[in-house]
Structure 1
Amino acid sequence: MLIDAGRTDAANALFDQLLSKVPPNLAPWTRAALLTRRAVSAWRLRRIPLALELAAEGWTDIDIEHPRGSDAADTLGRLGYLLEGIGHRHAATEALRVAVSVARAGDDVEVCAHALQNLGGMLNFRACELPPERALPVSAEAKALLEEGLALVDGGRVHLALLAAHAASLAGVGDLPAAEEAARRTIELAEGNRWACSVGNWVLSRVRRAQGSTAAAVEHAKAALADAEAVNDTSLVQRYSTDLADTCREAGDHAGEAEALRRTLAARATAVETLQEGLAQALEQRRVAIRAQRLATAAQEAAERDPLTGLANRLGLERAAPHILAHAANAARTPWLIVIDIDWFKSVNDAAGHAAGDAALREIAGVLRAECRVGDLIARWAGDEFVVLLTHPGDEPSPIGPAVAERIRTAVDRHDWTTVLGAVQRPTVSIGVAAGPGPFDRLFANADAALYQAKRKGRNRVEAFDQASGAAPV
């Protein structure tokens, strides 16, 4: 009400108090309605970044595909108003039409009337930009919507807004006497509402201009423009100043035309600044979102990575393995799982210390990287146990899993351990291998059974699970 009265300072002070109060435990659509109402107030007060932030927060919280109830209609109607203000007209029209549809199905007549007023008012302005033959049906649709709204409410701010917009639609369809009556009634009921007065005077200016009374049309247009500027409504200012310039030109008032055009340019500059602020806000929000996404990705990668060796850990392996196995099945590739265990690793730790044991684990990880392909998944399963998951074309004549496993075993056996372990016993590895298909748990169980056989047979060897017999070799 303070904004519509042109009392911007008082409105800003009250709005700052309002922002500190957020009722707890609100339903999503109720919270969205509250946030978008605040966004509209911020927009009217030219606090553009705050308006966009509030609107984005409210919009994010809702299920836009299944709007139901009066709060949903209220939210969508106000989002439509904001979208129209920033020039996103297609989205604005869609949101306002959905708002009307949802409001009609609800039980709050005032919300429904407000949704009808939003859509009807938007159509009034769209009609002003069209040639007469195309403008008439748009104004007729607006008139029908606004009359539907007027039938729902009698008195109050929504009724006043409907009455003002209805007067404009009557002028749009050429019913000048009814338009004049509705405009005068709007001004009479305004009682300090400068927004309503501005619309009423704009309609009277259109009526007088159509009647050929250009001097009277100019006076009403000037009054409408002054009120629109007082309530910080850039859209109204652009519309009214453009109409005033045209009317002054018809009246031969070139100075008045120039002044009106100057105010049009100022309003358009404000609109451009609004869009620039909106773009800057959107860019900043996108930057923050990308940064948050990168931090989340880094956190997820850290959670799936073994800090000692830099390999995937058990969590990383268990998350990635199903995708690798599914891709292998779709591409007719054979998956192989290689389970590697360091022989007598406890004795290495006991003889050389845990720091040397950690260094040995890092050396093993380096050997695995060197002996495996870039696309193979290498992971530290637990303690001194490692896993490699790889795939190869199903029609290859020789099985690649055991060959890779033997290459790893040989590389570890021949590795120079003196720098890491000195004269301590040289580590070797026992390896179990199994072929797919999955699931991963079964593949791991088979490879683990083969590993057990490798240990039973003296360690530092590779054993492969016998897929045909369903058992590890004895």
Structure 2
Amino acid sequence: MRRLLDAGSFAEADAAFDELLAGGTNFVDDRWVRSTVLVHRALLAWRLGRIPLALELIAEGWTELDTQPPSGGSAAHTVSMLGFLLEGIGRRGPAMDLMSLAVQIARDSGDQPSLAHCELREGIARVFRAANQPEQAAHQFAAARELCEEAQSLAKPGRVKRSALACLARSLVGTGDVESGERVAHETLTLSRDNSDGYAMALANWVLAVIRRSQGVLTEARTFASRALESAENIHESFLMMRFSRELAEICKQLGDPVGEAAALRRAVTAAVSAVDILKEGLGQALEQRRVATQAQRMAMAAREAALRDPLTGLANRLGLERMAPVLLERNASAGRVPWLVLLDVDYFKEVNDFAGHTAGDVVLQEVANLLRRECRAGDLLCRWAGDEFVVLLVDAAEDSREAGPVVAERIRAAVNAHDWRLVLGRLEQKPTVSIGVASGPHNLDQLFAAADIGLYKAKRAGRNRVENGTDQPETTQ
């Protein structure tokens, strides 16, 4: 795949990539090897301009990377490629950290081929940083030279060795050894032509252009820069295209060749637009993925919220009460307050359903829920327990917490009793009221509920439409 891309055979590379993807990665058992495969495929997809797929593969590979500490040649490859990708999109701080880490991982593993790959990537990144940041050039060229010298000595004859030689040539020139740099550049040029290696060929021609320009031989410098740019364009390497077209424009300017300079600048703009389009597409895909993920998260949260709510009244349901009550009771206990639970039941609800219909019964329950909201505080936990039974767990009561339950319960009872039910029930003879049991004491939902249930039973037996205390305290009868 990489040989096809470096030779500019994009149609064949695209077809081969589809065939590669069809094979999947399930055959890979080792997580680090799988991560390496995924990230390497992301690099290939990026080169082919398949940005959404590249981002998807990067994300999947990075997820695999997080599963265990990096060690071994596969881990080094993965970390290095991720760093190289970040370098390409301008995230230079973390990019160099990752590439340097990858070199150390590969060195510790004793995997020489992996070490050569990792050193090459860091070396290339440092060479281009040096070319773009003159104030750091000496340090970057020296580091790149050390990396590329070792990389080309470790690599077997092939693409990595040729690219390492080209990178070494530029770092030799950058550290002042122009004669050695030129010799290595010519050697790389011969090897890359024989192997149709457009990437190494582009780098080697660029190095020779830099040398001739420094020597004042501008006509030859223009020729080499043109060849470097042409090779980069043939393999669709937008980053190299931008770098080499600017180099060519500067040489043409020095030569007094405005036509050549304008043409080179147009090619630089074309390369920049292409790179921006790629990044825009990548950003758009990333934003869309983020939007989908956020939407899914909101839907999941809404589903969880819905599972805790009664759809008819909008109050918490039984599950919601059981989930939230322990937290509220713990808060009350920490504040030194006495917890109160109010349990109420709609009186004559069966008659409402029998004579006015179940739709009217549903409206009665909704009206009771609205009255609860009006008479209770926003922080109180309101719940439709089951059927026509409701629960209120009082939180942060402003009244003396020792009397809060009966006081709030009486407000609720009075509000329901005084409510005008004619719009809901017409002239139904027996209007709805509520019987209420209250309880306080332990910071335990089951115990509070049991005590309040006793109070509710007392209220029903005593004639309904009243409040009774189910705890061992003097009863409050309204």
Residue number among 324, 344, 351 corresponding to 1:340 in the alignment? 344
* Alignment size in residue pairs: 471
Instruction: Decide whether the 8 Å contact of 1:380 with 1:387 is kept in 2.
Output: yes
- Aligned to 1:380, the other structure's residue is in SS state strand
In the alignment, the residues of structure 2 paired with residue 44 and residue 268 of structure 1 have an alpha-carbon distance, to the nearest angstrom, of: 15
Q: CA deviation at 1:129?
A: 1.3
Residue of structure 2 in register with 1:34 after alignment: 37
Are 1:263 and 2:267 an aligned pair?
A: yes
- Which stretches of structure 1, 4 residues or more, deviate above 6 A after TM superposition? none
Paired letter, 2:86: L
Superposed CA RMSD: 3.4
Moved more, 219-228 or 141-150: 141-150
The correspondence of residues 22-421 of structure 1 with structure 2, limited to 5 A, is 22-24=24-26, 29-63=32-66, 66-106=69-109, 108-131=111-134, 134-190=136-192, 191-328=195-332, 335-342=339-346, 354-392=358-396, 396=400, 399-417=403-421, 419-420=424-425
Paired letter, 2:308: E
Instruction: Decide whether the 8 Å contact of 2:208 with 2:224 is kept in 1.
Output: yes
Q: CA deviation at 1:425?
A: 4.9
Paired letter, 1:230: N
In the alignment, the residues of structure 1 paired with residue 72 and residue 88 of structure 2 have an alpha-carbon distance, to the nearest angstrom, of: 25
Q: Any gaps of 5 or more consecutive residues in structure 1?
A: 470-474
Q: CA deviation at 1:193?
A: 0.9
- Aligned to 1:15, the other structure's residue is in SS state helix
Query: TM-score normalized by structure 1?
Result: 0.86
Deviations 1:315-372 (A, max 9, x none): 2233333444455556666543323334575676567665554444333323222222
Deviations 1:284-318 (A, max 9, x none): 22332332233222222222221222222122233
Query: TM-score normalized by structure 2?
Result: 0.85
The share of aligned pairs that are identical, in percent, is 51
Q: CA deviation at 1:220?
A: 1.8
In the alignment, the residues of structure 1 paired with residue 318 and residue 131 of structure 2 have an alpha-carbon distance, to the nearest angstrom, of: 66
In the alignment, the residues of structure 1 paired with residue 378 and residue 370 of structure 2 have an alpha-carbon distance, to the nearest angstrom, of: 13
In the alignment, the residues of structure 1 paired with residue 110 and residue 385 of structure 2 have an alpha-carbon distance, to the nearest angstrom, of: 60
- Aligned to 1:366, the other structure's residue is in SS state helix
Instruction: Decide whether the 8 Å contact of 2:379 with 2:395 is kept in 1.
Output: no
Going from structure 1 to structure 2, the CA distance change for 1:397 and 1:20 (only over 3 Å counts) comes to closer
Are 1:13 and 2:18 an aligned pair?
A: no
In the alignment, the residues of structure 1 paired with residue 313 and residue 383 of structure 2 have an alpha-carbon distance, to the nearest angstrom, of: 9
In the alignment, the residues of structure 1 paired with residue 472 and residue 58 of structure 2 have an alpha-carbon distance, to the nearest angstrom, of: 60
Q: CA deviation at 1:232?
A: 0.7
Q: Any gaps of 5 or more consecutive residues in structure 2?
A: none
- Aligned to 2:344, the other structure's residue is in SS state strand
Moved more, 198-207 or 89-98: 89-98
Instruction: Decide whether the 8 Å contact of 2:347 with 2:434 is kept in 1.
Output: yes
- Aligned to 2:123, the other structure's residue is in SS state helix
Q: CA deviation at 1:108?
A: 4.0
Paired letter, 1:12: D
- Aligned to 1:2, the other structure's residue is in SS state helix
